[in-house]
Amino acid sequence: MSLTQKTWGGRFSGQTDNRVEAFTESISFDRRLYREDVAASQAHARMLAEVGLLSADEAKKIVAALDDIAGEIGRGEFAFDIQLEDIHTHIEQALIKRLGDVGRKLHTGRSRNDQVVTDVKLWVRNGIDEIDGKLRDVQRAFLEAAGRDRDLVLPGYTHMQRAQPVLAAHYFLAYVEKWQRDRDRLADGRKRVNVLPLGAAALAGTSLPIDRDSVRKQLGFDAVAGNSLDVSSDRDFLLEYVFDLTVIALHLSGWAEEWILWSTTEFNFLELPDAFCTGSSIMPHKKNPDVLELIRGKTARVAGALHQLLMLVKGLPLAYNRDLQEDKQALFDAHDTVAASLELAAGLVRDSRFRKDSIAARLEDGFLDATTLMEFLVLRGVPLRSAHEAVGKLVRLCEERRCRLKDLPGEVYDGVRPGLASEVYNVLGVANALAAFKSQGSTAPAEVEKQIRHWHGRLA
């Protein structure tokens, strides 16, 4: 390849070392930005014509040729070559090949430094919208599940120890809240993505009479970046996006862990769909929750990508530094991993079923009603600390006798507080304990119904 085909070849007389070309190329991964690169270049060309740096005819030719090039890339007919380094150079060279000197005008008033960050922002903006759509679908799947087993009661856990009863619907809605915060976080970050870098040129702006606001409008950005020196070094928006992806992955991972446990023989709470499990090559009875395990496992990749990006920008002086080329693989991988995990999570939630008999058979174990009993004593005027101690002693007694609180005889309760035996059996047992909840946002059936209605409205 002749040096003149390199967009910066003019100042060089010696060829680039092959190893340098292989080491510095980004075309093997940044080709994923071709649509964004073409869209930004078309907006730039139109603007150049508006301000008189191109004729209307030249801009028209450039826009059409860029469409043509995008079509070729999209159909897999475009030849890539690491000697042309990156997607920006490939597209510009292809344009020059088609249009000659007209093509040589496209790069007027811009630099690859503002070009690449513009492309990445356009890509992240789409990425955010795609992940938001998938989160919404996951929310719907969880909401459907909340509606499916309306009356099913599950043991609620803290420290993985049985704590208090919760409606299955309440359990699913807990995740709906988490997915909503994830969506809100993305929407907030999107504001910072949607500020136009293009026009900052290499670092200081340009002496040419460009109109950045025209490009802003064409590409749907909300504002124009205020400081040219800041722009090409800014990857904050990308760190935020991959952080947001990491939180989503962490939420998925916690849920996956829960369901892996729930599908064990020990728990026996859940029947996972065959389509989302695999078998063992040696143990014929096995049905393994591989998808859940990999959703959990791939979280490490996403968090790893975040760490990589944080380290990448550490200590970078203004303005553009070539280090920044390394931002893309981590971004793409984190995005792809979370997108796939969300899709599978929605499918799993839609097709899994609770083993209601198995859950019910052991629901009275583990003193899920103990806290309600304590609160019942509080309502009768017993100070909370005394009530706590009294119920603690009753639980110890149950453990000695290997029975439940509702199995203890009336004398025991009357011994705690005279007259208690006549009413206490109305609050003991899981069903009574659950019915006793009242507070806003609690698992009280009426509260849960309210929440289901709320989310149906929001996700309609």
Considering the complex, what minimum distance in angstroms separates the CB of residue 243 from ligand ARG?
A: 21
Considering the complex, what minimum distance in angstroms separates the CB of residue 87 from ligand ARG?
A: 8
Chain positions 99 to 128 lying near ligand ARG, rule: CB under 6 A, are: 112-113, 116
Closest CA to 86 of 15, 7, 180: 7
Considering the complex, what minimum distance in angstroms separates the CB of residue 365 from ligand ARG?
A: 59
Q: 331 near 242, Cβ under 8 Å?
A: yes
Judged by beta carbon, residue 327 or residue 364, the one nearer ligand ARG is: 327
Per-position DSSP letters for 5-65, written without gaps between them: GSTTGGG--SPPPHHHHHHH--HHHHGGGHHHHHHHHHHHHHHHHHTTSS-HHHHHHHHHH
Q: Which residues pair with 271 in a beta bridge?
A: 353
Q: Binding to ligand ARG by residue 26, rule CB under 6 A?
A: yes
Backbone dihedral region for residue 405 (phi beyond 0: left; psi -120 to 50: alpha; all else: beta): alpha
Closest CA to 269 of 344, 158, 416, 157: 157
Judged by beta carbon, residue 44 or residue 134, the one nearer ligand ARG is: 44
One of 131, 324, 342, 434 touching ligand ARG (CB under 6 A): 324
Tokens 């991964």 correspond to 29
Q: Binding to ligand ARG by residue 30, rule CB under 6 A?
A: yes
Q: Binding to ligand ARG by residue 92, rule CB under 6 A?
A: no
Q: Binding to ligand ARG by residue 412, rule CB under 6 A?
A: no
Give the active site residue among 159, 207, 281, 439.
159
Neighbours of 391 (CB within 10 A): 23
Closest CA to 321 of 235, 238, 237, 232: 232
User: What is d(CA 50, CA 56) in angstroms, rounded to the nearest whole number?
Assistant: 8
Q: Binding to ligand ARG by residue 325, rule CB under 6 A?
A: yes
Amino acid 379 reads: L
From the list 96-104, 249-257, 316-324, 427-435, the region that binds ligand ARG by CB under 6 A is 316-324
- As to burial, measured by CB atoms within 10 angstroms (0-12 exposed, 13-18 middle, 19+ buried), residue 335 is buried
Amino acid 329 reads: Q
Terminal-residue alpha carbon distance, the chain: 57
Residue 280 annotated among the catalytic residues of the structure: yes
Considering the complex, what minimum distance in angstroms separates the CB of residue 314 from ligand ARG?
A: 17
Considering the complex, what minimum distance in angstroms separates the CB of residue 56 from ligand ARG?
A: 30
Give the active site residue among 44, 107, 253, 280.
280
From the list 91-99, 318-326, 333-341, 375-383, the region that binds ligand ARG by CB under 6 A is 318-326
Considering the complex, what minimum distance in angstroms separates the CB of residue 72 from ligand ARG?
A: 21
Two tokens at 390? 């009294």
For ligand ARG (CB under 6 A), the number of binding residues is: 11
Closest CA to 261 of 250, 249, 270, 248: 270
DSSP 3-state assignment of 381?
Answer: coil
Chain positions 6 to 25 lying near ligand ARG, rule: CB under 6 A, are: none
Judged by beta carbon, residue 86 or residue 92, the one nearer ligand ARG is: 86
Judged by beta carbon, residue 312 or residue 424, the one nearer ligand ARG is: 312
From the list 50-58, 258-266, 319-327, 393-401, the region that binds ligand ARG by CB under 6 A is 319-327
- Catalytic residue annotation: 159, 280
List of residues contacting ligand ARG (CB under 6 A) = 26, 30, 85-86, 112-113, 116, 320, 322, 324-325
